[in-house]
Amino acid sequence: MASLKQTTVREASSTKGFALHTGSQVTLTVKPAAANTGYVFKRIDLPDEPTVNAHIDNVKQVERATTLGEGNVKIHTVEHLLSALRGTGIDNALIELDANEPPIGDGSARQFLEMLATAGVQELDAPLAEYEVHEPVRVTSRDGGYIIAWPSDRFEVSCTNANHLGKHTQYRTWNPETGNYGKDIAQARTFVFYEEVQPLMEKGLIKGGSLENAVVIRGDAILSREPLRYDDEFVRHKILDIIGDLSLFPARLKAHIYAVKPSHGLNVELARELYKQYKVRQSQRMPFEHVPMGEGGMDSQDIMKILPHRFPFLLVDRILGFEGTTKIVGQKAVTMNEPFFPGHFPGHPVMPGVLQVEAMAQVASILVSRANGVAGKIGYFMSADKVKWRKPVVPGDTLIIEVELTKSRGKIARAIGVCRVKNEIVSECEMMFGLIDT
């Protein structure tokens, strides 16, 4: 069966409105993005138009909404928009907004669904990233709530929105294979108990809140500008939030989610625990570390037949193996004799981060030389994006360099690189190469 492909929006589309917690007026525009971008927010109202990736590592706050941030830049109440993107099958998007919070609309994802219907969906030439949960993961809250991710061959949510009052408790199971996100989930509005309104206002929240964008529950009474859209609208909105918050995990999940009294805090904590599991499994995979020479491995002499680099600028010692023509793992033993140590942090030797990027580029160039349609070419490094250095690399470390080719067409190739030490990521980046005949 052919693998599923990633998607983005076909064209730019905008929507306007007021933000729930800040009360600010905001214009939000969703634009196409390249494969493996994920969801990226861009604050066009700020100098230099900084961006924030929608990733579990960037969650800053989870009280009544999910807030993302990098540095001093924050984006509040992202869950409804992210739910709409994930619910409509869009994997990559650039989201520009001129305030720190998307518009709240009517408290559901309907406004974003309409915007995305105008934008359309475009398939990309890259495989869909999926993660199948292999072991149950459970997180709990102090009020007795819990959420579990159970192994499954598809994404599914079973939710009970029990509350402290013991009223309006509802239950529903939903999955995208048998259900329709737009009809089943997207229309469900946010709700709040009357007793919670005053404390939220005292905290400076819900400045833009009204009966236009929320359902208020007061005892047995339902306060709303319109009748409930579903008999079980409250639990459907909880599922909407779960879908949005779990989209902060960097791949589509295959798991059955069981939630009782869920909250943004629980949703995000589950995504964080799943990400820990994901990183452990990724590090344990290391499918090439024990591949014997002659079954995909290359020694330094083999490497120098492909790369023009020589000591001291050859930054890969061995190729541990290949996975088809799109993945490769290399190795670099970092010793005290490296020529860059005497002049780089003398007394506290640290491998320069730019040389880690160069090591990834050299391994990628070897992979490019084997890729379908570009055999016999070598990659000339053109650019590096989303470069991150997470931990120092010091003498005695063994650098494991993993590279995946994401595009190779014509004279351009793109790849993602990761360097690990003791199964922990120390650096990563996205790279672009020009393909030149050898």
Is the domain of 29 the same as that of 125?
A: yes
- Confidence class of residue 27 from pLDDT cuts 50, 70 and 90? very high
**Domain edge (last residue) among 227, 260, 284:** 284
- Confidence class of residue 245 from pLDDT cuts 50, 70 and 90? very high
Query: pLDDT (tens digit, 9 = 90+) per residue, 286-341?
Result: 444 333 333 457 888 888 888 888 888 899 988 888 877 788 899 998 887 788 87
Percentage of residues in the chain having pLDDT higher than 90 = 47
Residue 289 lies in a domain: no
Question: Does the annotation count 76 as an active-site position?
Answer: no
**Domain edge (last residue) among 231, 253, 284:** 284
Residue 302: which of 317, 286, 291, 324 has the closest Cα?
317
Lowest mean pLDDT among 91-100, 121-130, 235-244: 121-130
- The per-residue pLDDT for 292 is 36
Query: pLDDT (tens digit, 9 = 90+) per residue, 166-221?
Result: 567 889 999 999 999 999 999 998 876 656 655 554 555 445 455 556 677 676 66
Residue 280 lies in a domain: yes
- Confidence class of residue 283 from pLDDT cuts 50, 70 and 90? low
Is the domain of 76 the same as that of 115?
A: yes
Higher pLDDT, 306 or 86: 86
- The per-residue pLDDT for 287 is 43
Is the domain of 96 the same as that of 198?
A: yes
Residue 291 lies in a domain: no
Please give the tally of structural domains in the chain: 2
Is the domain of 278 the same as that of 309?
A: no
d(CA 417, CA 402): 6
Average pLDDT across the chain, whole number: 84
Is the domain of 159 the same as that of 199?
A: yes
Is the domain of 216 the same as that of 96?
A: yes
- The per-residue pLDDT for 294 is 35
Residue 360 lies in a domain: yes
Residue 294 lies in a domain: no
- Confidence class of residue 422 from pLDDT cuts 50, 70 and 90? confident
Lowest mean pLDDT among 66-75, 93-102, 426-435: 426-435
DSSP states of 12-80: -EEEEEE-TTT--EEEEEEE---TT--EEEEETTSTT--EEE--GGGEEE-SSS-EEEETTEEE---HH
Is the domain of 311 the same as that of 250?
A: no
d(CA 304, CA 307): 5
- The per-residue pLDDT for 212 is 59
Query: pLDDT (tens digit, 9 = 90+) per residue, 93-115?
Result: 999 999 999 998 888 999 999 99
3-state secondary structure of 343: helix
Q: Are 167 and 220 in contact (CB under 8 A)?
A: yes
Is the domain of 329 the same as that of 280?
A: no
Q: Write the CATH number for 312.
A: 3.10.129.10
Q: Write the CATH number for 52.
A: 3.30.230.20
Q: Which contacts of 199-207 are long-range, i.e. CB under 8 A and separated by 24 or more positions? A: 200/64, 203/63, 205/21, 205/63, 205/64, 206/20, 206/21, 206/64, 207/20, 207/21, 207/22, 207/23
d(CA 255, CA 426): 29
d(CA 223, CA 215): 6
Query: pLDDT (tens digit, 9 = 90+) per residue, 364-406?
Result: 888 877 664 444 556 677 888 889 998 889 888 889 999 988 8
Question: Does the annotation count 237 as an active-site position?
Answer: no
- The per-residue pLDDT for 344 is 65
d(CA 161, CA 146): 11
3-state secondary structure of 437: strand
From the candidates 55, 76, 256, 264, which is the catalytic residue?
Answer: 264
d(CA 181, CA 175): 9
- The per-residue pLDDT for 290 is 37
Percentage of residues in the chain having pLDDT higher than 70 = 82
- The per-residue pLDDT for 284 is 52
Lowest mean pLDDT among 8-22, 96-110, 400-414: 400-414
d(CA 286, CA 364): 17
Mean of pLDDT values over 280-286: 59
- Kindly state the tokens that stand for 215: 């359902």
Residue 293 lies in a domain: no
pTM of the entire structure? 0.64
Is the domain of 310 the same as that of 421?
A: yes
Residue 290 lies in a domain: no
- The per-residue pLDDT for 379 is 63
Is the domain of 154 the same as that of 216?
A: yes
- The per-residue pLDDT for 430 is 92
| DSSP β-ladder status, 93-97 and 215-218 | unpaired
Residue 391 DSSP symbol: S
- The per-residue pLDDT for 278 is 84
Is the domain of 248 the same as that of 312?
A: no
Is the domain of 315 the same as that of 172?
A: no
For 396, the domain range is 300-437
Residue 272 lies in a domain: yes
**Domain edge (last residue) among 223, 256, 284:** 284
| H helix and E strand count, the chain | 8, 25
